[in-house]
Structure 1
Amino acid sequence: MHKLCTAILFHLLLFAAAVSVRGAEISAREEAAPYAGATVYLLPIREDIMPATVRQVTRCLEEATALNASCVIIDMNTYGGVLDAADSIRTMLLDYPAPTIAFINNQAASAGALIALAADSIYMRPGASIGAATVVDGSGAVMPDKYQSFMRSMMRATAEAHGRVPSAERGDTVWRWRRDPQIAEAMVSPSTAVPDLADGTQVVTLTADEAIAWGFCEGKASSVEELLALAGIDDYTLYEYAPSWLDRFIGFLTNPTLQALFIILIIGGIYFELQTPGVGFPLVVAILGAVLYFAPLYAEGLAAHWELLLFLTGIVLIILEIFVTPGFGVLGILGIVAMITGLAFALIDTALLRYVPTGELPVSVVLGPFLIVIISAGVGLLLSIWFGNRFLRGKSGLRRRVVLVSDMKPADGYVSVAADRGLTGREGITSTPLRPAGKVVIGGRHYEAAGDDAAFIGKGIAVIVTRDENGILYCRKKEA
């Protein structure tokens, strides 16, 4: 019995040893190739860090999660950007469950350095640099210490988030920060001294070799493929973020040149519709221009509901000024201001407005879109007036195609019943707007009338009959 128990125990020990050896082999193989058959997702950040970058990174990480990506590579080349946008991206990377790798494909300055530090690993192209994270305003001037303090704490916290690693010193195991928080702080503050690196007189910016020496970079790579090889990722499928056809189409529509053209269509369509009511086509053009203008800005998260409502309110005020209150006064001015403001603010990411008073962003961020809208609206109005005078008046062929024109000549048998009225030179008051045709009250009687040379004249305006031909009176405004 004793021999039997000994034999069973011996076999159990052999089995345990075999399992242990097998487990060690599997563990060693997994350590040697931790990403065997990996799905690698490439996320590009190659522009200033703005709220739009946050939206792109959010979409990319969602897509990487849907693909069950083994790791995400952030292909970076940026000189910085808006601080809270960078903080949002930093938080997303720190919280992302799969490993993240920052590939500094030239520069990771300022806000870009903060994002790079949030990645689990950092690789740099030869000649690349990371650092120079001092907070500055739109003109490059250093912001007050309130902002620097916040940035210093974020840089330290991001470095500390990667924990400590053991290191052997004089036979003892010492736990040190994987990325030194003091160096991260020195990237913001020129007064932070780091022995053998910074003497407390300048902001730290690390080259690729310096970043490797100080533990802020795992290696140098000239391409994503070389990076993957250095990271031990040999068997992989690479997915790179590519905008969908809808994203590309939206990007095409948000081109500033096209946006200016849409504004011209809106202003021109409204002008022509007011000049030739009932035709319909100018109104369709204006609506189409407004849809093409606002829709892509909504999709990009730039335009808000209040901006569209402000634009529509402006149109309503202008219509009330023209058809309800005579002359051109407060309603018309308010309507023009509301339209321009609505169109301009739709071009501005309102999340950026909070940085204008602090000086972090230049005022040109706001003035630029206003200038685009004002110039485009002015061009649209001038073109509309020119086209109106050229094609919708006189004897133009286009006028005869789009406007109902009829000539009733005495030679053709038509006799005017008003030709001998002798009303030329008489004064009257418009009882309806002349746009260009309507009615005028002269001596208590209503007559069909039109603005002289098809000019628009509002309701309740004193006019003088310039001529009475073919049954229609032609009038102009009475001089004050």
Structure 2
Amino acid sequence: MKTYPKQKHFTSMYLLLCLLLLPLFTFAQTTKPKVFVMEVKAEIDPRTNRYTEVAFNEATEAGADHVLLVLDTFGGALQDADEIRERILHYPKPVYVFIDNNAASAGALISIACDSIYMSPGSSIGAATVVGADGEAAPGKYQSYMRSIMRATADANGRNPRLAEAMVDASVDSTLSAGQVLTLSTTEAVKFGFCDGVANDVEGVLALLNLQDAEVTYYEPGTADAIISFFLNPFVSGILLLVIVGGLYFELQTPGIGFPLIAAIIAGTFYLVPYYLTGLAENWEILLFVVGLILIMLEVFVIPGFGVAGISGILLTVSSLVLMMLNNYNFDFTFVPSEDLMKSLISVVLGMIGAGVLIALSWNRLVSSTAMDRVVLKNSFHSNEGYRSSNSAVHLVGKTGFAHTHMTPTGRVMIDDTLYDAQARDGFIEKGEAVQVIDHSTFSLRVKKVS
């Protein structure tokens, strides 16, 4: 057979092109799809919300082609479930859910947001009526909103929106639930298009998806998340409260030492930051805490006596610490279980009682410490040395003199060439500043700074 030069040229070019593309074909055949698996087996709350947010971000960074959510929950907070739903609906890669026993209430909403639903034998999905803290159905506005998002979510993924609504409201006509909120078993969910397959475990789900040979990564919370979870423990929160209250008290009793204040600040940081990161502590709750501390400090250093500011500061501080532990939205406690409220209140009260016990046990040692020598008068003073007791100083009220020592707020003042123990009304007075006597007690004078 005769071969033309042009034909030989094209044959050579074709062979060369095949050789160049061969590595690409080989690479395509050896590259495995990546599956990212996360587990949610807890109540749906701000912590779960943050967990899924971090997990989806990590799945994106890992270049996952598919995400599988292993779910077993009886529900939880509607707002957090809605945010998770939005996250799933807008995720650029396919998201599947494997219901391992339960997907009730908020769990049902999250499940129908996924591209495909797989269930283990004996599992169930539904019962999505919004309930309050007492377990009773929430007001109609909440049910209406839940029906709306259940219907829209089911419709977005090609599922029967009518059945999704029936999971919320018993009055919605359903062929399965005569006057009852709809809950589907695994078999029923398969029949009515709310389950795409039945599997016993994650490996079974991957086989149904033809991903049995995929590269699988299981999400594990990082060190930071483990630390946050540790500090969210009610017992640990109580210890931190003890350090906060005790540290502030000791610092107020011995100004200038610094260590108690530093300990209180560190404990406050460890207390506030985990609650803030998980969404439990809102900005207004933290502001409430700060305002409470400011009022307490004003009462101690500026305002004479103990009155409205001090009591208000204590109430605001305690209230903010309790509120930070509760999953409330804008002071709405409709969905906060009473046991959670009691648990938070007990943690705060026990923390403060513990701080009180610590203060009582440490008081004698504190008073006798060298640090207290700077602010507490322990020396004995005699009249022949020019000192006078304040109980013989009624006539000094209204007289002026100067601070013989730094007053923080206690110290010594010189009046008519005589030294007296005194307490500053306005907190701190520098040594040498002019003062005026405004009152007296058995043990000291009460003075104010003269401008």
TM-score w.r.t. length of structure 1: 0.72
Superposed, 1:192-271 pairs within 5 Å as: 192-195=172-175, 197-198=176-177, 200-271=178-249
Q: Which of 133, 137, 150 is residue 138 of structure 1 equivalent to? A: 133
In the alignment, what sits opposite 1:360?
335
- Residue pair 1:270, 1:286 contacting (<8 A) in 2 also: yes
SS in 2 for 1:130: strand
Q: Which of 113, 118, 126 is residue 118 of structure 1 equivalent to? A: 113
The change in CA–CA distance for 1:180 and 1:321 in structure 2 (over 3 A counts) is closer
Q: Which of 269, 281, 300 is residue 291 of structure 1 equivalent to? A: 269
User: Are 2:372 and 1:377 aligned?
Assistant: no
- Residue pair 1:434, 1:449 contacting (<8 A) in 2 also: no
1: CA distance, partners of 2:182 / 2:275: 39
Superposed, 1:6-45 pairs within 5 Å as: 37-45=32-40
In the alignment, what sits opposite 2:304?
326
2: CA distance, partners of 1:91 / 1:439: 67
SS in 2 for 1:392: helix
In the alignment, what sits opposite 2:366?
392
SS in 2 for 1:127: coil
**Consecutive unaligned residues in structure 1, runs of 5 or more:** 1-25, 164-178, 410-414, 466-474
1: CA distance, partners of 2:142 / 2:288: 35
The change in CA–CA distance for 1:303 and 1:237 in structure 2 (over 3 A counts) is same
- Residue pair 1:130, 1:207 contacting (<8 A) in 2 also: yes
2: CA distance, partners of 1:422 / 1:161: 87
The change in CA–CA distance for 1:315 and 1:205 in structure 2 (over 3 A counts) is closer
The one-letter code of the counterpart of 2:356 is: L
The change in CA–CA distance for 1:81 and 1:302 in structure 2 (over 3 A counts) is closer
The change in CA–CA distance for 1:382 and 1:446 in structure 2 (over 3 A counts) is farther
In the alignment, what sits opposite 2:419?
447
- Residue pair 1:275, 1:436 contacting (<8 A) in 2 also: no
The one-letter code of the counterpart of 2:348 is: V
The CA deviation string for residues 149-189 of structure 1, in whole angstroms up to 9 with x for no partner, is 332332222222223xxxxxxxxxxxxxxx33332222222
Deviation at 1:347?
3.3
In the alignment, what sits opposite 1:86?
81
In the alignment, what sits opposite 1:426?
392
Deviation at 1:319?
2.9
In the alignment, what sits opposite 2:169?
189
Deviation at 1:463?
1.5
The one-letter code of the counterpart of 2:124 is: S
Superposed, 1:403-422 pairs within 5 Å as: 403=373, 418=384
Deviation at 1:96?
2.1
Superposed, 1:24-173 pairs within 5 Å as: 37-163=32-158
What is the RMSD of the two structures over their aligned residues, measured on CA atoms? 3.7
The change in CA–CA distance for 1:386 and 1:64 in structure 2 (over 3 A counts) is same
In the alignment, what sits opposite 2:411?
438
The change in CA–CA distance for 1:104 and 1:273 in structure 2 (over 3 A counts) is same
Deviation at 1:36?
7.5
2: CA distance, partners of 1:408 / 1:181: 84
The CA deviation string for residues 61-120 of structure 1, in whole angstroms up to 9 with x for no partner, is 222222221211111011011223222222222222222111001100011111111111
What is the count of residue pairs matched by the alignment?
402
In the alignment, what sits opposite 2:14?
none
When structure 1 is superposed on structure 2, of 121-130 and 318-327 the one drifting more is: 318-327
The one-letter code of the counterpart of 2:160 is: D
- Residue pair 2:134, 2:338 contacting (<8 A) in 1 also: no
- Residue pair 2:272, 2:281 contacting (<8 A) in 1 also: yes
SS in 2 for 1:439: strand
The CA deviation string for residues 269-296 of structure 1, in whole angstroms up to 9 with x for no partner, is 1211222223222222222222222233
2: CA distance, partners of 1:83 / 1:325: 45
TM-score w.r.t. length of structure 2: 0.77
The change in CA–CA distance for 1:267 and 1:153 in structure 2 (over 3 A counts) is closer
2: CA distance, partners of 1:373 / 1:460: 40
In the alignment, what sits opposite 2:313?
335
In the alignment, what sits opposite 2:11?
none
- Residue pair 1:212, 1:218 contacting (<8 A) in 2 also: yes
1: CA distance, partners of 2:250 / 2:126: 56
Deviation at 1:367?
6.2
- Residue pair 1:36, 1:234 contacting (<8 A) in 2 also: no
SS in 1 for 2:194: coil
- Residue pair 2:35, 2:215 contacting (<8 A) in 1 also: yes
SS in 2 for 1:68: coil
Deviation at 1:418?
4.4
The change in CA–CA distance for 1:407 and 1:108 in structure 2 (over 3 A counts) is closer
The change in CA–CA distance for 1:77 and 1:421 in structure 2 (over 3 A counts) is closer
The one-letter code of the counterpart of 1:391 is: R
The change in CA–CA distance for 1:98 and 1:298 in structure 2 (over 3 A counts) is same
2: CA distance, partners of 1:84 / 1:71: 26
2: CA distance, partners of 1:446 / 1:260: 50
Deviation at 1:437?
4.9
SS in 1 for 2:298: helix
Identity %: 38
Q: Which has the larger radius of gyration?
A: 1
